[in-house]
Amino acid sequence: MHRTTQLTLAAALLASFAFAPTAFAGEPNGQDLYKTYCKSCHAAGSAHGEYTPMTLIQDQWERFYKEKYAAKHATAQMPDGRKVLEAITPEMLAKIRKFSVDHAADSEQPMTCGK
């Protein structure tokens, strides 16, 4: 029992470290944030669907942020237990949004968020 608690704690610590924006040297950009937050649930083979910026076209991304993001993620939780809607602040979301639209499938430079 004792051992399990310790392990869980360690895992939580590790997870929170991995998801803390302080893990980046300097201000994280849209790509860093996308990779840290969104990719954790939307990598290839994910049960929630694979989403990289170039999965959708620009119109679809705009519609997603306007109409779907909040509803689809209302109950979703990060691996560290925080609610997605709280862990990702409005400032971070603005950067992620710009990154996904700028590199959408029909943009000049479609991109995944990298490995």
Partner 1 sequence: MTMRKLTGLALAGALASLPLAAAEPFSHKDAFEHYEGTRTCLACHEDEARAFHGSQHYQWKGSAPQLVGAGSKPLGKINTINDFCTGPAANWIGLVKNSRGDVVSKGCSKCHAGLGELPQAEPSQAQLENIDCLICHAKGYQRDLFEKPGGGFEWKPILWKNQEGLDSVSKRVGPPQRAMCLRCHSASGGGPNFKRGDIEYKLADTDRSYDVHMGKDGADFQCTSCHAGDKHRVRGRGADLAGTDSPANPLSCSTTECHGSAPHGEPMIDRHTARVACTTCHIKTFARDEATDMVRDWSKPKYDAEADRYAATITMQKDVIPVYAWWNGKTHAQLPGEAVKTQANGTVGMMVPDGSRQDPEARIFAFKLHKGRLPVLTDKKWIVPILVEHFFADGDIFSATRKAAEETYGIADAKFEWTDTERYMGIFHGVQPREQALQCLDCHGAKGRLDWKALGYGADPLLIRVTAKK
* Residues found near partner 1 in the complex (CB under 8 A): 54-57, 59-60, 105-108, 110
Q: Which is nearer to partner 1, 3 or 115 (CB)?
A: 115
Compute the least distance from the CB of residue 115 to partner 1, in Å: 9
What sections of the chain are H helices per DSSP?
2-19, 30-33, 39-42, 58-63, 69-72, 84-87, 90-102
Residue 97 near residue 89 (C-beta atoms within 8 A):
no
For the chain, helix, strand, coil in percent to 5 are 60, 0, 40
Say which entry of partner 1, ligand HEC, none residue 82 contacts (CB below 5 to 8 A, set by partner kind): none
Q: Which of residues 25-44 bind ligand HEC (CB under 6 A)?
A: 37-38, 40-42
- The CA distance from 106 to 102, in Å, is 9
Of the two residues 16 and 107, which places its CB atom closer to partner 1 in the complex?
107
Query: What type of residue is 111?
Result: M
Q: Shortest Cβ distance from residue 73 to ligand HEC (Å)?
A: 5
Residues in touch with ligand HEC (CB under 6 A)? 37-38, 40-42, 48-49, 51, 64, 68, 72-73, 76-78, 84, 88, 96
